Structure 1
Amino acid sequence: MSAAVAASVCVDEITSVEALEAFAAEWAELWERCPAATPFQHPAWLIPWWNCFGDQPGWTLWTLAARVEGRLAAVAPLFIHPGPDPSVRQVSPIGIANTDYVGPLLDPADDGGAVSAILAHLAAHAERWDVCDLEEIRDGDPLLSAPMPDGLRAESHPQSLCPVLALADDKDAFFAARSSWLRRNLRRGVRRLSDQAPLAFETADKESLSEFVDAFFRLHEKRWAAEGQDGLLQGELMRRFHRESSERLMDAGLLRLHGMRFDGRLAAIFHGLGGHGRVHAYLGGFEPGLGRDNPGTLIAGYAMEQAMAEGAREFDFLRGQEKYKYDWGAVDQRTHRIRILHADSPERAR
């Protein structure tokens, strides 16, 4: 980064919940300018995460905002916390563990000065941390190729595979291109369920949001309990997070919460996030007793129809290589993990 560019870039630290909330509108405006950004990088997802999970011993909010000539150009929503070895001070992205794609938000119009400034800020304050661990960074993210400033070094490794399905302008052509086995299961599931009771597919709105979120918890838990597992929505904090984030995501136009109503009751749920031409399939659930009629496939098919109706080009199944994702025709995309260390990082952090 040249001296002239460096002089025009400043990095602000956001270290309180109040400041984070006050920053949300500017952060959301930057998100709108970033066509590669996902809803997982939006304040409607990440602020509820911090609100619900950030109040833990040793956790310190450390969001970095880089401005070029006064205009916000990058946001790195970070925090400092004890690592797996509690004596190691680790920098991680807000949203770790239950969030996909947690990389920094970078304005594509920026020439690299903003990300360089954030890395330089990390280097200038290396006495606060021992390792910076950035997970689930997508292919093509500028952070993967950004040069490290003096005093820092980065290690990058492949991390997860995310099956992604290309959508089409014509939904009929899209479904006609699926396998005969999958098309048969879709037709048979609708026919069998419709023969038993009224069947309808719906999308949550503000009036029905609470019902849909309750059904999301109930059906996800029941679906996994049928296999002797707990699922991913255990605990009051996790449920509080999803209630708050669902409200904020809906207000931001990013929530894709669909349901299959069978005999008057929600019997399958698709919880997704959408924006910038992509829909991300986050979690779902269904009544296990309907399993032979493929409710998971039916609600996924409905979610794809709705995605194509809004003009989405991709349907991202997110992390995990479950067979059903490839049955739809999804193709793997890679994420990466970047670990940044400095000269004084202790050996136990390496």
Structure 2
Amino acid sequence: MDELTLRIYPSVRAAAPDLETPGLAGYAFARHAWLQAWADTFGAQAHIEPAIVVMAGVRIQMVLPLGITRRNGLRTLEFLGGIVTDYNAPAIDPDFARSLDATAVQALWRRITAALPSHDVVCLTRMPVTLDPPEGAVGERVPNPLALLPGVNAAGQARSVTFPDRYEALTGTLRPRFWADTQRCRRRLAEVGPIAFVVADDDAGMRALIVSLKRMKSRRWRETHSKDWFAVPAFSDFYDAMARIDLPEGRIHGSSLNVSGTAVAAHLGLVYRSRFYLLLIGWEADGWRRFSTGRLMTETLLRQAFDEGLRVFDFTVGEEAYKDDWANALMPLVRYDEAITARGRFATVLMTARDRLRARATQVAWLRRIVRWLAGRPLA
């Protein structure tokens, strides 16, 4: 490890050649195309200072897309990609990853942080404990060395479907009542009109899909009293940019479920190596609700991914209950938090106290009033 050189890029564009290094284990979210779409939208407005770490010897061993932003008055080291990136992880040579134990990882991390611009705290979230191997590689999944950092904490899990040899073997593991109801919904929908699964395969089709999907998701968020993210310009702009990116070893996948030519459900995600990422799915309301068109869209995407020969259908992060109806595999996620400076250590104590106060406030009325009063006020 001492023989490896370390370089740090101040922008995603400058790091583009290294971010496109073939043969590294990881996920689609660490590729240049994805990070550049984020940098041109969210990143441009969030004033994040990229600090993309590359470790190389004869060839590149690891690419770590990090950045520094100011949050609560603190300079915070975090992954690039923000809320639109489901998995935060390095792109890494599989043999290099497997050679690192906890002691080596800690030494490597100290070397990296010492070379980075000054920061008060580290906040690395949504880190999967394992990585997809390079396409065509033989062997098990690749360990994520950052999951060995001292003091990492469990941070939920991602759900997915690992495909068996036959599709019927997958549907046979589903709850019988759930699968029977899904088939019944499809039959009833077919009585309304011809059902067609339409993949957006040109710019015009993708633009039309994005318009429909934004409308469906915004309505759903408002119905559930959640934040309408498409009302945030940077969020909306990111998905416009995402739909146009050229992803090496993969592609953006946009599609809709149509009845008599009308889109009743839509999805925008991606295919990368042997994994299908379900990222953003929406469906129409009103009279279409009784047909469970979102569920039918999910099952249609599953079938297409299986027929394409992909190995994993990934529901990614999030605790939405519908994922449990389909998933047969779980991937643990971890997070790593560290205070670097005295200012960072003091703020960490305050944030820990605040989080405990919020947890306690769910059970004590007068504490809830205090928490509401504190909401939105600066941490200091």
Same fold (TM over 0.5): yes
SS in 2 for 1:90: strand
1:283 and 2:280 are equivalent in the alignment: yes
The CA deviation at 1:303 is 0.9
Residue 180 (str. 1) matches residue 166 (str. 2):
no
Compared with structure 1, are the counterparts of its residues 57 and 27 closer, same or farther at alpha carbon in structure 2 (3 Å cutoff)?
A: closer
Residue correspondences, number: 328
What is residue 72 of structure 1 aligned with on the other side? 60
Q: Take 1:334 and 1:272, find their aligned partners in 2: how far apart are those partners?
A: 21
1:4-83 equivalences under 5 Å are 5-7=1-3, 9-16=4-11, 20-30=12-22, 33-35=23-25, 37-56=26-45, 59-69=48-58, 71-83=59-71
Q: String of CA shifts for 1:169-204, please: whole Å, max 9, x gaps.
A: 322332233222222222222221221122211222
- Where 2:44 maps in the other structure, the secondary structure is coil
Which residue of the partner structure matches residue 151 of structure 1?
none
Aligned-partner residue type, residue 294 of structure 1: S
- TM-score by length of structure 2 reads 0.78
User: Structure 1 residue 281: deviation in Å?
Assistant: 1.7
Question: 2:18 touches 2:63 (CA, 8 Å); kept in 1?
Answer: no
Q: Alignment partner for residue 196 of structure 1, among 192, 196, 203?
A: 192
- Give 2:92's aligned amino acid: L
Determine the C-alpha separation between the residues in 1 that align with 2:270 and 2:107: 30
TM-align CA RMSD: 2.5
Q: Match for 2:263 among 260, 266, 273?
A: 266
Letter in 1 for 2:68: I
Q: Is this contact kept in 2: 1:185–1:294, CA < 8 A? A: no
Q: Which has the bigger relative contact order, CA under 8 A and spacing at least 6?
A: 1
* C-alpha distance 173-209 of structure 1, shift in aligned 2 (>3 A): same
Q: Is the 8 A contact 1:222 1:286 kept in 2?
A: no
Q: Which moved more, 1:299-308 or 1:94-103?
A: 94-103
State the AA in 1 paired with 2:77: V
The CA deviation at 1:339 is 1.7
Query: Shift of the alpha carbon at 1:343?
Result: 6.3
Indicate if the aligned counterparts of 2:119 and 2:340 stay in contact, CA closer than 8 A.
no
C-alpha deviations, 1:289-338, integer Å up to 9, x for none?
21110111111011111211222222222222322211224343220001
Extract unaligned runs of 5+ from structure 2: 131-143, 349-380
The CA distance in 1 between the partners of 2:321 and 2:16, in whole Å, is: 38
Match of 2:88 among 95, 99, 102: 102
Is 1:246 aligned to 2:249, yes or no? no
